[in-house]
Amino acid sequence: MIKQTKHIIKVNQLRKSYEKVEAVKGVSFSVSNGELFGLIGPDGAGKTSIFRILTTLMFPTDGNVSMMDLDVVKDYRFIRNNLGYMPQRFSLYQDLSVEENLAFFARIFGTTIEENYDLIKDIYIQIEPFKKRLAGQLSGGMKQKLALSCALIHSPEILILDEPTTGVDAVSRKEFWEMLIRLKEKGITILVSTPYMDEANMCDRVALIQNGEIMSIDTPAKIIDDFGRKLWAVKSDNIYQLILDLKKMESVDTVFPFGEYLHITSKADEFNEERLISDLEKVGHSNIRIQQIKANIEDCFMQLMQ
Amino acid sequence: MHFSAYMVNNITMIKNKENIIEVKDLVKKFGNFYANDHLTFEVKKGEIFGFLGANGAGKTTAIRILSGLSYPTSGDVMVAGFDVYKEREKVKKNIGYMSQKFSLYEDLTVKENIRFYGGIYGLSNKYIKEKTESMLERLKMKDIQHSLIGSLPLGWKQKIAFSVAIFHNPKIVFLDEPTGGVDPITRRDFWEMIYEASNNGITVFVTTHYMDEAEYCDRVSIMDRGKIEGLDTPGGLKKRFKSNNMDEVFLKIAR
């Protein structure tokens, strides 16, 4: 039924304006069949606007978007039947039970829980012991698993997830990504958005987005390779004072805290490490450590923002 | 090794300071459910204290008790020198609070929000006027003082919300996931503001899901199912749980 296509999602020069604000400013990207593609950026970057257009819930102001080679404006009915969407806000029926929610979504897509049970089994099995419980009374992690099950019950070609891990603890986040990887292995194309930069590494390719514009699209490894300058990690006994002192130094370009270290770049792209240590010792720092390191996605994101 | 010497120094430094929060055997029950199951810990003056845990571990329940919004079922809790059973109003006067969900009034301007919170805390007009000036200066936001909060990007709002939460110079500020969804540069600017507040003697009690931010804290407590399962400096926790970073520590405790 569905035409074989290399790019199952194609977004070309997409724009979306709300009265005064232009939320999406000419965004283009495409997602290959079976790819796990991440849209990475902070709140207000335009991620939800893009997703609402892709899921046919909102019209674009300008530009073309095709899903499965069909136009999101004209062919919305067909697209909806073949798309799973998990919005950011929990949007199931709180006053229906777990089982009733799932049966409801199966039925409106003209299918049954049994027919596509294989697809959701891994996920649903974890909440099945609570199938008589009202959805409103589930914990955050269980709600998420139910929402994902409901988004998958009609065996969609494409799964779109809007910030599924925002506000979720580190353990549940990890479990959620493990579920996504297993779904990808079943051949579903997944488009997911997140404000957590470290999650980029779980995706095949990512688009880094800020203020309605895509800053970079590539594999996480390639984005890191493109950082294109040297980066050092530094620490001393007094991290706050170290931030202030490094920012005062002529040779230093950027200073950003990263865990127990500061990541710094140099204007000349080179540091005399010994000299830097002695300069810092002169202003009272002790136990100074410095080493050159490889950038991570967050370093890249911040560089692109500037 | 240098690092362990640093750890010892830092711990002695913290140990010498006075306790600003003292919690002993805190229990909060909802029916038969122990949301807080005998919590015992102290927070030192000026410390940046990370309060971590999985969703539903009982963090919010504890924060509500510490900020005088809810009574414990049992246990002793002193905050800023006041008893949370008998001196709730004094507790509230001496703390600041901000969260990702609730911070400022969207339909008031930046300046009106500051004026409003200043008034709530009973500060004098003179104090409000002077402090507003210096605060806007520090934030480099003089140009937008008459803009509605609702029209500003999230990162700006969060910086203003934090400044407002410490506007009355409280002894402690509670920050409940202050940086969720904020862009990476603003997130770091925000932490510099936290360091600055701590340097000025304000105790910072902060929750976060960003594990790199746990490393910025002087000490970190990690809750799981109502109990504190680890409480130490980030270095100490990493050593005890044989982990390279706080993300691994967290996974070992909460998984």
Whole-prediction pTM value? 0.88
Q: Which of A43, A242, A253 to mutate to test the interface with B (most CBs of B within 10 A)?
A: A43
Q: The tokens 């040297």 sit on which residue?
A: A230
Of B230, B242, B245, B244, the C-alpha closest to B57 is: B230
**Across the interface, which of A139, A167, A301 has its CB nearest the CB of B177?**
A167
From B217's Cα to the closest Cα of chain A, the distance in A is 9
Write the CATH number for B54.
Answer: 3.40.50.300
- Pair A121, A256 in one domain: no
For A249-294, write each residue's pLDDT tens digit: 999 999 999 988 999 999 999 989 999 999 999 999 999 999 999 9
- Pair B11, B75 in one domain: yes
Residue A202 has pLDDT above 90, yes or no: yes
How does residue A127 score in pLDDT terms, banded at 50, 70 and 90? very high
Instruction: Give the model's pLDDT for residue B154.
Output: 86
For B131-165, write each residue's pLDDT tens digit: 999 999 999 999 999 999 998 888 899 999 999 99
**Across the interface, which of A41, A259, A302 has its CB nearest the CB of B215?**
A259
Show the domain range for B38.
2-94+170-254
Instruction: Give the model's pLDDT for residue B1.
Output: 37
**Across the interface, which of B181, B246, B247 has its CB nearest the CB of A195?**
B181
Give the number of domains in chain B.
Answer: 2
Asked if A169 and B55 touch (Cβ cutoff 8 Å), the reply is: yes
Residue A52 has pLDDT above 60, yes or no: yes
Whether residue B25 lies inside any domain: the answer is: yes
How does residue A5 score in pLDDT terms, banded at 50, 70 and 90? low
- Pair A236, A219 in one domain: no
Which residues in chain B are closer than 8 Å to A246, comparing Cβ atoms?
Answer: none
Which of A179, A210, A225 is at the close of a domain? A225
Whether residue B225 lies inside any domain: the answer is: yes
For B251, name the nearest residue in chain A, comparing CA atoms only.
Answer: A171
Three-state secondary structure of chain A: CCCCCCEEEEEEEEEEEECCEEEEEEEEEEEECCCEEEEECCCCCCHHHHHHHHCCCCCCCEEEEEECCEECCCCHHHHHHCEEEECCCCCCCCCCEHHHHHHHHHHHCCCCCCCCHHHHHHHHCCCHHHCCCEHHHCCHHHHHHHHHHHHHCCCCCEEEECCCCCCCCHHHHHHHHHHHHHHHHCCCEEEEEECCHHHHHHCCEEEEEECCEEEEEECHHHHHHCCCCCEEEEECCCHHHHHHHHHHCCCEEEEEEECCEEEEEECCCCCCHHHHHHHHHHCCCCCCEEEEECCCHHHHHHHHHC
Mean pLDDT computed over every residue of chain A = 94
Which of B121, B151, B169 is at the close of a domain? B169
Distance (Å, whole) CA B115 – CA A285? 40
**Does B153 sit within 8 Å of A44, measured CB to CB?**
yes
Q: Which of A169, A174, A177 to mutate to test the interface with B (most CBs of B within 10 A)?
A: A169
DSSP letter at B105 equals -
Which of B121, B149, B169 is at the close of a domain? B169
Instruction: Give the model's pLDDT for residue B54.
Output: 87
Whether residue B100 lies inside any domain: the answer is: no
Instruction: Give the model's pLDDT for residue B7.
Output: 47
Show the domain range for A265.
231-305
DSSP letter at B72 equals -
- Pair A265, A186 in one domain: no
**Does B2 sit within 8 Å of A257, measured CB to CB?**
no
Sign of CA dihedral A114, A120, A125, A126: negative
From A258's Cα to the closest Cα of chain B, the distance in A is 6
Which residues in chain A are closer than 8 Å to B195, comparing Cβ atoms?
Answer: 239-240, 243
**Does B184 sit within 8 Å of A171, measured CB to CB?**
no
Which of B135, B169, B203 is at the close of a domain? B169
**Looking at this predicted complex, what is its ipTM?**
0.85
Give the number of domains in chain A.
Answer: 2
**Does A42 sit within 8 Å of B184, measured CB to CB?**
yes
- Pair B63, B10 in one domain: yes
From A240's Cα to the closest Cα of chain B, the distance in A is 6
For A258, name the nearest residue in chain B, comparing CA atoms only.
Answer: B212
For A254, name the nearest residue in chain B, comparing CA atoms only.
Answer: B185
- Pair A245, A197 in one domain: no
Whether residue B66 lies inside any domain: the answer is: yes
How does residue A1 score in pLDDT terms, banded at 50, 70 and 90? very low
Instruction: Give the model's pLDDT for residue B17.
Output: 76
Residue A20 has pLDDT above 90, yes or no: no
Which residues in chain A are closer than 8 Å to B154, comparing Cβ atoms?
Answer: 42-44
**Across the interface, which of A163, A170, A256 has its CB nearest the CB of B188?**
A256
How does residue A230 score in pLDDT terms, banded at 50, 70 and 90? very high
- Pair A217, A235 in one domain: no
- Pair B159, B174 in one domain: no
- Pair B63, B163 in one domain: no
- Pair A195, A268 in one domain: no
- Pair B122, B159 in one domain: yes
What contacts A159, CB < 8 A, 6 or more positions away? A83, A84, A85, A86, A151, A152, A183, A188, A189, A190, A191
**What's the full length of chain B, in residues?**
255
The count of CB pairs under 8 A between chains A and B is 101
From A120's Cα to the closest Cα of chain B, the distance in A is 23
- Pair A158, A235 in one domain: no
Q: Per-residue pLDDT for chain B (255 aa), expressed as one digit of tens each?
A: 344 444 444 445 555 679 999 999 999 999 999 999 999 999 999 999 999 998 889 999 999 999 999 999 999 999 999 999 999 999 999 999 998 776 799 999 999 999 999 999 999 999 999 999 999 999 999 999 999 999 888 889 999 999 999 999 999 999 999 998 889 999 999 999 999 999 999 999 999 989 999 999 999 999 999 999 999 999 999 999 999 999 999 999 987
Instruction: Give the model's pLDDT for residue A94.
Output: 94
For A94-117, write each residue's pLDDT tens digit: 999 999 999 999 999 999 999 999
Instruction: Give the model's pLDDT for residue B16.
Output: 63
Whether residue B182 lies inside any domain: the answer is: yes
Whether residue B116 lies inside any domain: the answer is: yes
